Amino acid sequence: EDQVTQSPEALRLQEGESSSLNCSYTVSGLRGLFWYRQDPGKGPEFLFTLYSAGEEKEKERLKATLTKKESFLHITAPKPEDSATYLCAVHYNNDMRFGAGTRLTVKP
């Protein structure tokens, strides 16, 4: 069965404590993997698209990487304003499927 799984479900970090979020997928025919950020009470906001294994994208303190089975969102020296839910989505064949998200809390 095609699946997109994000882990951990929730992550609490101290400000400046770097970590990574995981998005693993079991689909065939990957055409793209997307990362979104969602703040409470708001819709998701697009961050990155990754198309092939080995590709990396960076934006401020965030770096997304992709392998053949998973993607990581690395957060370097996070700040409280990075607190949000991070969603990944996988495009394969003619379908697009979201993970359930990782809720990140960064404490000052």
Partner 1 sequence: ETGVTQTPRHLVMGMTNKKSLKCEQHLGHNAMYWYKQSAKKPLELMFVYSLEERVENNSVPSRFSPECPNSSHLFLHLHTLQPEDSALYLCASSSGLVQNTGELFFGEGSRLTVL
Residue pair 86/35 in contact (Cβ under 8 Å)? The answer is yes
Asked if 31 touches partner 1 (CB under 8 A), the answer is: yes
Output 36 or 72, the one with its CB closest to partner 1.
36
Peptide bond into 80 cis (omega under 30): no
- x/- contact string, 69-108, with partner 1 (CB under 8 A)? ------------------x-x-x--xxxxxxxx-------
Q: Which two tokens stand for residue 44?
A: 């998701």
Helix H or strand E encompassing 35: strand 30-38
Q: How many residues bind partner 1 (CB under 8 A)?
A: 24
| Number of other CB atoms surrounding residue 59 within 10 Å | 11
Asked if 40 touches partner 1 (CB under 8 A), the answer is: no
Q: Could you list the residues that contact partner 1 (CB under 8 A)?
A: 4, 9, 31-32, 34, 36, 41-46, 49, 87, 89, 91, 94-101
